[in-house]
Structure 1
Amino acid sequence: MSPSKVSTIVFDKFYNIVDGQLRDTKDTPHHGVNPVTGQELWDVPVASKQDLEDAVAAANKAFVSWSQTSIEERKELLGKWVAVYAQHRDDFINLLIKETGKPRKFATVEVDGVTQFAGFHTTLTIPEERIEDDEKVITTRYTPLGVVGAICPWNFPLILSMGKIAPALLTGNTIIVKPSPFTPYTSLKMVETMQEVFPPGVVQVVGGNNDLGAWLSLHPNVHKISFTGSIATGKKVMEAAAKTLKRVTLELGGNDASIILPDVDIKKTAPEIVMGAFQNSGQVCVATKRIYIHEAIYTDFVAEMAAFAKSIKLGGGDDQPDDILLGPIQNKMQYDKVKTFFQDSKAKGYKFAAGSPDATDSALPQKGFFITPTIIDNPPNDSRIIAEEPFGPIVPTQPWSDEEEVIARANNTNTGLGACVWGADVDRAERIARRLQAGSVFVNSWEKPTPQAIFGGHKESGIGGEWGQTGLLSYCNPHVIHSYKLKL
């Protein structure tokens, strides 16, 4: 398809995509819920085991020819698809708002981020290495794995799906996307638009529940699972994938620490720390979840954080002012889980520097899954709010005085996804950053992963990584040719 051709996809009817064809369901359809209103959204099909079998067969068939295309051809098709996707920019923004509750400005950022992500991948190359001596030439190339199963989360349904699709396609794999049942709509539509560009079977999408993810992970003809989600589910995926020794990339939960040095500008830094904790209503795997502030500035810094947190406006839906920063929790299950952190903190008598011990207040919209942004002032080290990841807009602060001790405290977790260090003395901040046990550490910024660098976790935050030039290799097998020189 040429970029000038007008795409005619409609955004109020949803299908699975199997072998290039729109496929409905024979079973009772599923539906998402608008988290702003609590109202049911459109029906979506639930993939059967036969749907998955058909998708796997189509993906393996398509792999034979797709894997033999040149990287230039794959980049060209990615670029053509970006032009198709751009025709539906407003449709995707409106759909993302409805299924996630994101404020319009942040839904727009995610929708546009898909274009940037795909575009960046068209600048990458697959590395190749050649070593020669008097006896032989050794050439190391990287070849595609086969069929990738992408199990995607609900917090960033578009960008995190594209984070798996773009590198998989660029490296010559075919891919089957399974969106979260909480946010199926934008992923189903994104893959539908891809049928206007890519050959049948190269990119497919099947929606369903946990059974579908298990079938994907166990299937002998799926060669890699890329999973983003909880640690508990990631362990199940890895266990299932082990039965066929398929490759896995697991991007799991985090309990990210931010260390604030005493020389920061409090007025400028405190609001940034709050945004790092509460971005997307705290529903970010690398959101700041523990804040360690030097004791010399602790009281003033927490007060500044609290003032900014109290000024944040919440809202959602199609009609919303531009100054709305936070939307609701995306689904009822997570909403109820986040509230248990409030209940525990209230029962233990912890100090609320900002927010309500009851999680909500009269200023919030009375419908939907809204929670007041909340700061817990200096809970003990063994408190639940310190030890666990809430995945919602509630964050603890603690003072520190000794650098060695605070580094140990920051690393005292079974997770290691992201971390931050803030300080005017950049050399000192970077020295601390190098000692933090996390896959991505940010100096003088809250956590902002980018497709320019590999993204993955340490400890139980994951296995492997993806994105960036290095991340391409997680979708490849190394293939080495040892060519010995003839001795005449």
Structure 2
Amino acid sequence: MQTYRNTVDGNLAEPASRYEIFNPANGQSLGYAPESDEQEVDRAVHAALLAQKTWAKRSDGERRDITLKIAQILEDNSGYLAELLTREQGKPLSGPGSRFEMQACVGWTQVPASLELPPETVYEDDERKDTLHRVPLGVVAAVAPWNWPLMIAIWQIIPAIRMGNTVVLKPSEYTPIATLEMVRLISEALPPGVLNTVTGDGNIGSKLTHHPDISKIMFTGSEATGRHIVKASASNLAPITLELGGNDAAIVLPGTDIKRIANDLFWGAFLNMGQTCACIKRLYVQEDDYEAVMSELSAIASQMKIGDGMDESVLIGPLQNKMQFEKVRNLVSDARSAGCDVREFGEVPEQGYFLPITLVGNIMDGQRLVDEEQFGPALPIIRYRELDDAFESANRLDAGLGASLWTDRPEETIELATRLEAGTVWVNQHGAIHPMVPFGGNKASGYGVEFGIDGLKAVTQSRVISIKK
């Protein structure tokens, strides 16, 4: 059985120890992942620190060209990585699954390569000229999650190295293998030390984020871990970009044509089996439209095949790990015990972390499935009478990553959209991110943004050069 390895200073490191990774669809072993120790964290950070000065001296054009080479490597190896991702993470190859994730990896590499942050004249008169330059921060500690492990790792890696930083990446301990293979492949285009990995649980993540030579922390994951990272940053004063997930609300405005929006509503909620930070976790529907929404979503759900994502006909796979499987199952059980209308769809395989597609009606604010981010294929559908009540409900929780409005009159929704307390408010879509559009959370869903020009700025620091004429 293969043992995968970390990339440290351009070489594949011999693991201090290892642990086994299993396919969430069938329990089969995928091989062994390395488990780093404190010494390997030190070696990785030291390698990144030594490489950073030289990497930063490369011209902007050189770093752009190398980034484009990385995009080509991702494209050339997308089939291999997609299959490995499906076996490890569980998402299907087809539909909005592993091949889709690999397409996103390519796109989110090409776009930062195309962007520039040239010096900006911020003030000039007869006596002086002041220009603002964007320079690298140094070594970036990137901590990636298990739900979109390759795509989100690329979101962290590519802007950082594009702007002259070096990176030490820690993938989730649940999904390290595909990420380690991706880093091994793209490191062929990079000088040694520019991109390094360490692996393990939260203790290794903590050693990385506390490290005194870290100059920036990028983290996507839970709010609880995010709070620990904020405390860790006090030891090195590293600025942080935090994306801490959300309990996204969607509001269907009264009188909307439900049949027209039903398919987009469904995938807005059940993309990646609901294991997506910015997907619909709470659906608010005017009481007169409630039955139509339940009927249309039920019709779509009943057509979905649940199973091993290596089957090309499957669009709904397993949950990634036992912890998440048990959490979602318990939340649905709690709703059922409370007398909610629990409707389950799909024939679920006996083996693996599979759950049926679940719609839960007759549920209210305050119940666990509404108030706790489920991160799985169970959608609470909540009636409202007055639109103001729906906005109050949508904003009542601390989460504020995304939200959406659904309507037949999208041109009339700008004022309504500003009432939703979220980093992004979509209209007639949900989770529709784009590599040119800044993305980040409000409230307890984190701070800082990724993507586009603002995302590049987030991995740099400003330097003003003021010249007396």
TM-score scaled to structure 2, two decimals? Answer: 0.96
Q: Which runs of 5+ in 1 are unaligned?
A: 1-10
How far apart are residue 430 of structure 1 and its match? 2.4
The amino acid of 1:37's aligned partner reads: N
Pair 127,410 (structure 1): closer, same or farther in 2 beyond 3 Å: farther
Q: Which of these residues, 75, 83, 89, is aligned with residue 94 of structure 1?
A: 83
1:71-127 Cα offsets, whole Å, 9 max, x none, are 211110011122233332221111011101111111111112111110111111115
1:302-324 Cα offsets, whole Å, 9 max, x none, are 22112222222111143x143x2
Q: Which of these residues, 420, 423, 437, is aligned with residue 407 of structure 2?
A: 423
- 1:309 matched to 2:301? The reply is yes
Q: Secondary structure at the match of 1:364?
A: coil
Asked if 2 retains the 8 angstrom alpha-carbon contact of 1:422 and 1:429, the reply is no
1:195-249 Cα offsets, whole Å, 9 max, x none, are 2110000011111111110001110001111000000111011111122211111
- 1:466 matched to 2:455? The reply is no
Q: Which residue of 2 aligns with 1:249?
A: 241
Return structure 1 stretches of 4+ with deviation > 3 angstroms: none
Q: Secondary structure at the match of 2:283?
A: strand
Equivalent-residue separation in structure 2 for 1:209 and 1:425 (angstroms): 47
Q: Which residue of 1 aligns with 2:340?
A: 350
Q: Which residue of 2 aligns with 1:74?
A: 63
The amino acid of 2:173's aligned partner reads: P
Q: Which residue of 1 aligns with 2:370?
A: 386
Q: Which residue of 1 aligns with 2:272?
A: 280
Equivalent-residue separation in structure 2 for 1:299 and 1:281 (angstroms): 23
- 1:170 matched to 2:162? The reply is yes
Equivalent-residue separation in structure 2 for 1:114 and 1:12 (angstroms): 25
Q: Secondary structure at the match of 2:288?
A: coil
Q: Which residue of 2 aligns with 1:184?
A: 176
Asked if 1 retains the 8 angstrom alpha-carbon contact of 2:10 and 2:191, the reply is yes
How far apart are residue 274 of structure 1 and its match? 1.5
Higher alpha-carbon deviation: 115-124 or 421-430: 421-430
1:148-182 Cα offsets, whole Å, 9 max, x none, are 01000000111000000110011110001101111
Q: Which residue of 2 aligns with 1:6?
A: none
- 1:83 matched to 2:72? The reply is yes
Asked if 1 retains the 8 angstrom alpha-carbon contact of 2:243 and 2:445, the reply is yes
- 1:30 matched to 2:12? The reply is no
Q: Which of these residues, 435, 460, 464, is aligned with residue 451 of structure 1?
A: 435
Equivalent-residue separation in structure 2 for 1:126 and 1:13 (angstroms): 41
Asked if 2 retains the 8 angstrom alpha-carbon contact of 1:33 and 1:331, the reply is no
Equivalent-residue separation in structure 1 for 2:152 and 2:312 (angstroms): 27
Equivalent-residue separation in structure 2 for 1:24 and 1:212 (angstroms): 17
Equivalent-residue separation in structure 2 for 1:276 and 1:128 (angstroms): 40
Q: Which of these residues, 290, 300, 310, is aligned with residue 292 of structure 2?
A: 300
Q: Which of these residues, 26, 35, 46, is aligned with residue 35 of structure 2?
A: 46
Q: Which of these residues, 106, 109, 114, is aligned with residue 115 of structure 1?
A: 106
Q: Secondary structure at the match of 2:397?
A: coil
1:178-198 Cα offsets, whole Å, 9 max, x none, are 011110011101111122110
Equivalent-residue separation in structure 2 for 1:98 and 1:307 (angstroms): 29
The amino acid of 2:14's aligned partner reads: D
Percent identity between the two aligned chains? 37
The amino acid of 2:157's aligned partner reads: I
Equivalent-residue separation in structure 1 for 2:114 and 2:16 (angstroms): 42
Asked if 2 retains the 8 angstrom alpha-carbon contact of 1:175 and 1:202, the reply is yes
Asked if 2 retains the 8 angstrom alpha-carbon contact of 1:146 and 1:222, the reply is yes
- 1:208 matched to 2:197? The reply is no
Q: Which of these residues, 311, 315, 328, is aligned with residue 325 of structure 1?
A: 315
How far apart are residue 295 of structure 1 and its match? 2.4
Equivalent-residue separation in structure 2 for 1:128 and 1:294 (angstroms): 51
Higher alpha-carbon deviation: 235-244 or 302-311: 302-311
Q: Which residue of 1 aligns with 2:423?
A: 439
How far apart are residue 41 of structure 1 and its match? 1.8
Q: Which of these residues, 364, 367, 373, is aligned with residue 357 of structure 2?
A: 373
Equivalent-residue separation in structure 1 for 2:351 and 2:218 (angstroms): 35
- 1:197 matched to 2:181? The reply is no
Equivalent-residue separation in structure 1 for 2:61 and 2:253 (angstroms): 47
How far apart are residue 26 of structure 1 and its match? 3.0
Equivalent-residue separation in structure 1 for 2:118 and 2:396 (angstroms): 37
Asked if 1 retains the 8 angstrom alpha-carbon contact of 2:213 and 2:236, the reply is no
Equivalent-residue separation in structure 2 for 1:380 and 1:102 (angstroms): 30
- 1:341 matched to 2:331? The reply is yes
Equivalent-residue separation in structure 2 for 1:401 and 1:431 (angstroms): 20
Asked if 1 retains the 8 angstrom alpha-carbon contact of 2:405 and 2:428, the reply is yes
TM-score scaled to structure 1, two decimals? Answer: 0.93
Equivalent-residue separation in structure 1 for 2:206 and 2:390 (angstroms): 40
The amino acid of 1:342's aligned partner reads: V
The amino acid of 1:434's aligned partner reads: T
The amino acid of 1:461's aligned partner reads: S
1:411-467 Cα offsets, whole Å, 9 max, x none, are 111010001111111133222112211011111112222211111100000021111
Equivalent-residue separation in structure 2 for 1:335 and 1:250 (angstroms): 25
CA RMSD after TM alignment: 1.5
Higher alpha-carbon deviation: 62-71 or 425-434: 425-434
1:116-152 Cα offsets, whole Å, 9 max, x none, are 1101111111153202112211111111100001000
Q: Secondary structure at the match of 1:370?
A: coil
1:257-295 Cα offsets, whole Å, 9 max, x none, are 111112422112122212111110000001101111122
Equivalent-residue separation in structure 2 for 1:307 and 1:26 (angstroms): 51
Equivalent-residue separation in structure 2 for 1:88 and 1:177 (angstroms): 20
Asked if 1 retains the 8 angstrom alpha-carbon contact of 2:74 and 2:102, the reply is no
Asked if 2 retains the 8 angstrom alpha-carbon contact of 1:418 and 1:438, the reply is yes
